[in-house]
A and B are shown apart, each in its own frame.
Chain A
Amino acid sequence: MSIQTIEDTKVKAFPAKPAEVIAFTAKARRRFEPLAIAGKLASALVPPIIVIALMLVVWQIACSSPTSSLPPPTQVWNEAYDLIAHPFFDNGPQDIGLAWRVLISLQRVAVGFGLAAVVGVALGALVGQSIWAMRGLDPVFQILRTVPPLAWLPLSLAAFRDSSPSAIFVIFITSIWPIIINTAVGVRNIPEDYRNVSRILRLNQFEFFVKIMVPAAAPYIFTGLRIGIGLSWLAIVAAEMLTGGVGIGFFIWDAWNSSRLPDIIVALAYIGVTGFCLDRLVAAVGAFVTRGTTAK
């Protein structure tokens, strides 16, 4: 019975206004399909939201007993509400919002990582280009790159006698190795044909570096930069814990010393999100710069 009625309405509906139906679908396709976009968004967002919600629930249950040593999410929300809701407050030299602290840390990363990128690409190009530079420098690099970032800190404090340049140096020395090594591999992998082209055109060393080497090795260089930015973000937090100042790393150390565990947890979330954004930023710049290079 019911099937019959549905078919009846369908049959009636179709001849009633066929032109309108066609026009509507054509229009929708030409612009965009809100339903499809919403569906895609949902399929990307819903799973992580569910997972995070589950984690919060488990955390809440695990930490809600009065004897628990760590605060549950509800306590974090209540006690650190100011930090979560107002990232940009500024109440004097040591009482500022977490966004400001992250920005200060980012500033140090920018200087240290920027230096590492310039020096690393130059050194990597040298090592990739010259067999003798590689034989001499590669063993040194391979040993130095395994030194943990913080092991450099005492030495750099002794050398610079100031915490800020020391922190920047730690960033530099941490992030430079993957940049050097990846650049060198990229340069070594430049096809012989491109070298022949540059030889026939008699490009000089500088022209070869700018016009052939850097673009040809760009995918490798950006892999190195991406690993490097991740490492420098790791290192800055650790370095700031020891050197003090107003960065996000010192904030955690300070919170630990004054037993503000909820603040630490909020700061961790800030650090994670910032690190994620940095990684995506470098990846996006890399994808933009190397468009067309990888496809042959």
Chain B
Amino acid sequence: MTAYLKLDHIDKSFTRGAQVSEVLKDIRLTIDKGEFVSIIGHSGCGKSTLLNLIAGLTKVSAGAVLLEDKEVDSPGPERAVVFQNHSLLPWLTVYENINLAVSKVFGRSKSKVERHDWIMRNLDLVQMAHAKDKRPAEISGGMKQRVGIARALAMEPKILLLDEPFGALDALTRAHLQDAVMDIHSRLGSTTIMITHDVDEAVLLSDRIVMMTNGPAATIGEVLAVPLARPRRRVELSSDRTFLRCREAVLKFLYERHRFVEAAE
């Protein structure tokens, strides 16, 4: 059986003048359809670079990203990204922001009415239909991120890429959005890759957690499967033994075996 998404011996280095800095080295990972995978690591370990490589926003130096056995080297709507700072266009309303994506992706295949229904369905999915005519400046950070997720989902992507989607939010809003993402994942079964630096978030949401070693030349240190049944409820899980064991494993990896980031700073 071939993997849905395959990261095949990926290296990435940036060249600035004569200086070559190696960011990622020998990344090997396969992800199945419908899987929710988190990538966790200390800041500066290149996890956002890895996401950009999968998105095609930056090019690999060596190796390849294979989606359904086809190499991807440029960005496209089948790998939709939810950016950390939402990246909604401030001059468009919530509806228009999603419409921009929908009319580009489905401009030919769906009629105008179908497209409208599709936009509203995605807004409903993130419970933002009530704010469809508001501009991004008029809604809260959590709501903007919901719209960002709706925009990504509206492209009907093969893979949903979340780049620290909840990093800029307060703890309560973050919990609400995590629940929303879990709910959407269980309903749509979308293959999802999420960058995070929050251990609880990674364990709560993921089927597998990919732990990155520290840079330079970071690579995958360990992959942890999270054998928790879905649907998961955060309150019940907070005392669940499997949850605690997974959490401990990630914490140990990050703070005992790969903690020299702080020493370097």
Q: Which A residues are within 8 Å of any B CB, using their own CB?
A: 191, 193-194, 196-197, 199-203, 207, 211-212, 215-216, 218, 290, 292-293, 295-296
Which stretch from B98-106, B177-185, B237-245, B255-263 is at the chain A interface?
B98-106
Q: Using Cβ atoms and an 8 Å threshold, which residues of chain B touch A212?
A: 89
Whether B87 is near chain A, meaning CB under 8 Å from some CB there, is yes
- A193-B83, A296-B137 are contacts. A200–B89 as well, Cβ < 8 Å? no
A199 to B76, CA, bound (A): 7
A296 to B79, CA, bound (A): 26
Q: Using Cβ atoms and an 8 Å threshold, which residues of chain A touch B87?
A: 191, 193-194, 196-197
* Shortest beta-carbon distance from A116 to chain B in Å: 24
Q: Using Cβ atoms and an 8 Å threshold, which residues of chain A touch B251?
A: none
Whether B204 is near chain A, meaning CB under 8 Å from some CB there, is no
| Total CB contacts across the A-B interface at under 8 A | 59
Q: In the complex, are the beta carbons of B77 and A200 less than 8 A apart? A: yes
In the complex, residue of chain A having the shortest beta-carbon distance to the beta carbon of B157: A200
In the A-B complex, the 3 residue pairs with the closest CB atoms: A193-B87, A295-B137, A199-B75
A202 to B90, CA, bound (A): 20
Whether B246 is near chain A, meaning CB under 8 Å from some CB there, is no
Q: In the complex, are the beta carbons of B91 and A196 less than 8 A apart? A: no
A211 to B92, CA, bound (A): 10
* Shortest beta-carbon distance from A294 to chain B in Å: 8
Partner of A292, one of B79, B81, B104, B137: B137
Partner of A203, one of B56, B81, B104: B104
Q: Using Cβ atoms and an 8 Å threshold, which residues of chain B touch A196?
A: 57, 75, 81, 83, 87
24 pairs, CB–CB < 8 Å, chain A vs chain B = A191-B87, A196-B57, A196-B87, A197-B83, A199-B56, A199-B75, A200-B55, A200-B75, A200-B76, A200-B77, A200-B80, A200-B155, A201-B100, A201-B101, A201-B104, A201-B155, A212-B89, A215-B91, A218-B91, A292-B91, A292-B135, A295-B90, A295-B137, A296-B90
Whether B85 is near chain A, meaning CB under 8 Å from some CB there, is yes
In the complex, residue of chain B having the shortest beta-carbon distance to the beta carbon of A211: B100
A202 to B110, CA, bound (A): 18
Using a CB-CB cutoff of 8 Å, which residues 129-145 of chain B contact chain A? 135-137
In the complex, residue of chain B having the shortest beta-carbon distance to the beta carbon of A214: B91
Interface of A, secondary structure class, is: helix
Contact with A along B68-100 (1 / 0, CB 8 A): 000000111101110101010111000000001
- A292-B91, A292-B137, A295-B90 are contacts. A202–B75 as well, Cβ < 8 Å? yes
Most chain-B Cβ atoms within 10 A of its Cβ — which of A201, A211, A290? A201
A201 to B81, CA, bound (A): 10
- A199-B57, A200-B76, A292-B135 are contacts. A194–B89 as well, Cβ < 8 Å? yes
* Shortest beta-carbon distance from A202 to chain B in Å: 6
* Shortest beta-carbon distance from B192 to chain A in Å: 16
A193 to B151, CA, bound (A): 14
Q: In the complex, are the beta carbons of B91 and A201 less than 8 A apart? A: no
A194 to B83, CA, bound (A): 10
Q: Using Cβ atoms and an 8 Å threshold, which residues of chain A touch B100?
A: 201, 211
Partner of A201, one of B57, B77, B90, B135: B77
Q: In the complex, are the beta carbons of B57 and A202 less than 8 A apart? A: no
Q: In the complex, are the beta carbons of B137 and A202 less than 8 A apart? A: no
* Shortest beta-carbon distance from A264 to chain B in Å: 46
In the complex, residue of chain B having the shortest beta-carbon distance to the beta carbon of A215: B91
Q: In the complex, are the beta carbons of B91 and A293 less than 8 A apart? A: yes
- A292-B137, A296-B137 are contacts. A193–B85 as well, Cβ < 8 Å? yes
Q: Using Cβ atoms and an 8 Å threshold, which residues of chain B touch A218?
A: 91
* Shortest beta-carbon distance from B54 to chain A in Å: 12
A256 to B147, CA, bound (A): 65
Most chain-A Cβ atoms within 10 A of its Cβ — which of B74, B89, B91? B91
Q: In the complex, are the beta carbons of A292 and B55 less than 8 A apart? A: no
Most chain-A Cβ atoms within 10 A of its Cβ — which of B76, B90, B135, B137? B90
Q: Using Cβ atoms and an 8 Å threshold, which residues of chain A touch B75?
A: 196, 199-200, 202
Q: Using Cβ atoms and an 8 Å threshold, which residues of chain A touch B105?
A: 201
* Shortest beta-carbon distance from A21 to chain B in Å: 39
A201 to B83, CA, bound (A): 14
Q: Using Cβ atoms and an 8 Å threshold, which residues of chain B touch A296?
A: 90, 136-137
Q: In the complex, are the beta carbons of B89 and A197 less than 8 A apart? A: yes
- A193-B85, A201-B105, A202-B104 are contacts. A292–B77 as well, Cβ < 8 Å? no
Q: Using Cβ atoms and an 8 Å threshold, which residues of chain B touch A200?
A: 55, 57, 75-77, 79-81, 155
A194 to B90, CA, bound (A): 10
Q: Using Cβ atoms and an 8 Å threshold, which residues of chain B touch A203?
A: 104
